C-alpha cells in the first residue's frame, strides 16, 4: 500500500514513518519542516497543510493518508491558530483526498476532545472540550464525519491518543525524567492519581494494525497503555530506571498551587513559558483515565509493556540528554 504520512517529521510521525518503511509500505511524507535526519527511504515533500497544492503534490499516487499534523502546544498558540491548522488544515486534506479519489484515511485526534471527565472516557463518552486544542480537534473530527457522509465507500479511523511518550520526544515525560535525574523533582500531592499514557511504539503499531483493517464507514479508537499507572508509580519506574532517588517528603497540593500561581501571572505579563506553573502542577495531579479496551477487542496487542516503555525512554534520556538544546523542544499533548 502507498501511504502518505502528514506530519511525518514530528515525534509520532518519525516513529510511524520508520515502522511503515520497515514493514514494506511505500511511504510519502508531508511536513512543514524537513526530517531531522537525512533519509532516502521514502518520498518527502516539504509543505504546509494550509496550502492545497502542497497536499496535492504529496498525495499524488497514494492509496491512504494518515494525518498527524496539528497545533498542540499548551503555551503561545492562539485560538485562531489552533482552528486554522487543526480544522481548516484537515479540511484541506479531505478536499484533496476527495479530488484524488483517495478513500482510506486515519486521522489523529486526541482525548482532549472529552474535556474534564469524571471517571474515565470511552469512545462513547460525549465530547466536551475545555481548551482550544480539544475544541479545534473536535471541529476537525466533524469535518471528517461530513466527508465520509459524502461517500459511503470511504474508510476512516479516528485515533484519540492520550499523552504520548518515548525516545526522541522532549515533552511531558522527558521533562519529568529530566527533573528526577537532576534532583529537581519534589512530589506535590499524594501521587495517587491515575495518568493514562501511550508509548509511541505501541501507538504507531496500533495505527498500522488499524490501517490494514479499515472498512467502509468510520471507526473511533481511544489509545492508552495498560496498566494505567498512578503518578507515584510512574515516578518510581523512572527513579529505578535512572538509578537515583527523589526526596521522601511530599508538598501538599493547595499551597503548591498558590505558590505556582505567581508564575502563571508572571508568564502572562512577560510571555515567558515558565517550567513551573499552577496549571502544570494541577495537570500532573489530575487523574486522566482513558479506556482503550475497544482496540484490544479489535485484536490489537501492544508490543511493549508500559513500564518497559518508560525504562526505554529513561535509557534514551541518559544517552541523549545533552542534545536537547540542539534539537529544540517538542510537545505531544493528549
DSSP 166-216: -TT--SHHHHHHHHHHTT---EES-S-SBB-EEEHHHHHHHHHHHHTT--S
Q: Cell for 136? A: 479545534
Per the DSSP assignment, residues forming a β-bridge with 3 are 27, 64
Distances (CA, A) of 48 to 32, 43, 59, 277: 5, 16, 13, 32
**Distance of alpha carbon 333 from alpha carbon 165, whole angstroms:** 10
Nearest to 27 by CA among 35, 16, 38: 16
**Distance of alpha carbon 101 from alpha carbon 37, whole angstroms:** 32
**Distance of alpha carbon 85 from alpha carbon 71, whole angstroms:** 6
From the CB of residue 146, how many other CB atoms can be counted at a distance below 10 Å?
Answer: 11
* End-to-end Cα spacing for the chain: 29
Active site members: 133
Whether the CB-CB separation of 1 and 25 falls below 8 Å is answered with: yes
Secondary structure letter of residue 322 according to DSSP: G
Whether the CB-CB separation of 171 and 236 falls below 8 Å is answered with: no
DSSP 84-131: IIIIIHHHHHHHHHHHTT--EEEEE--GGGG-S-SSEE-TTSPP---S
Whether the CB-CB separation of 225 and 202 falls below 8 Å is answered with: yes
CA atoms in the 13 A half-sphere facing the CB of 285: 18
Q: Cell for 320? A: 541523549
Amino acid at each position: 500500500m502507498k501511504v502518505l504520512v502528514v506530519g511525518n517529521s514530528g515525534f509520532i510521525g518519525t516513529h510511524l514513518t520508520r515502522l511503515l518503511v520497515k514493514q514494506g509500505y511505500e511511504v510519502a511524507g508531508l511536513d512543514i519542516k524537513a526530517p531531522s535526519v537525512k533519509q532516502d527511504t521514502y518520498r518527502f515533500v516539504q509543505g504546509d497543510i494550509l496550502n492545497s497544492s502542497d497536499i496535492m503534490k504529496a498525495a499524488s499516487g497514494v492509496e491512504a493518508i494518515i494525518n498527524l499534523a496539528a497545533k498542540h502546544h499548551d503555551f503561545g498558540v492562539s485560538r485562531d491558530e489552533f482552528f486554522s491548522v487543526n480544522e481548516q488544515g484537515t479540511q484541506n486534506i479531505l478536499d484533496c483526498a476527495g479530488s484524488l479519489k483517495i478513500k482510506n484515511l486515519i486521522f489523529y485526534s486526541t482525548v482532549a476532545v472529552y474535556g474534564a471527565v469524571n471517571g474515565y472516557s470511552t469512545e462513547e463518552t460525549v465530547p466536551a472540550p475545555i481548551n482550544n486544542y480539544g475544541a479545534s480537534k473536535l471541529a476537525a473530527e466533524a469535518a471528517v464525519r461530513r466527508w465520509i457522509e459524502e461517500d459511503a465507500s470511504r474508510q476512516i479511523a479516528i485515533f484519540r491518543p492520550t499523552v504520548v511518550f518515548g525516545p526522541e520526544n522532549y515533552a511531558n515525560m522527558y521533562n519529568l525524567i529530566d527533573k528526577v535525574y537532576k534532583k529537581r523533582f519534589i512530589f506535590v500531592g499524594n501521587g495517587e492519581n491515575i495518568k493514562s499514557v501511550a508509548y509511541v511504539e505501541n501507538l504507531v503499531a496500533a495505527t498500522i494494525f488499524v490501517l490494514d483493517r479499515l472498512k467502509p464507514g468510520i471507526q473511533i479508537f481511544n489509545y492508552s497503555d495498560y496498566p494505567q499507572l498512578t503518578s507515584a508509580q510512574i515516578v518510581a519506574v523512572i527513579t529505578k530506571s535512572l538509578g537515583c532517588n527523589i526526596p521522601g517528603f511530599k508538598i501538599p497540593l493547595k499551597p503548591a498551587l498558590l505558590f505556582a500561581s505567581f508564575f502563571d501571572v508572571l508568564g502572562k505579563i512577560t510571555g515567558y513559558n515558565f517550567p513551573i506553573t499552577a496549571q502544570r502542577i494541577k495537570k500532573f495531579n489530575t487523574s486522566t483515565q482513558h479506556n482503550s479496551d475497544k482496540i484490544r477487542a479489535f485484536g490489537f496487542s501492544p508490543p511493549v509493556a508500559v513500564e518497559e516503555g518508560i525504562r526505554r525512554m529513561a535509557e534514551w534520556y541518559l544517552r541523549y540528554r545533552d542534545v536537547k538544546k540542539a534539537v529544540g523542544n517538542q510537545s505531544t499533548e493528549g
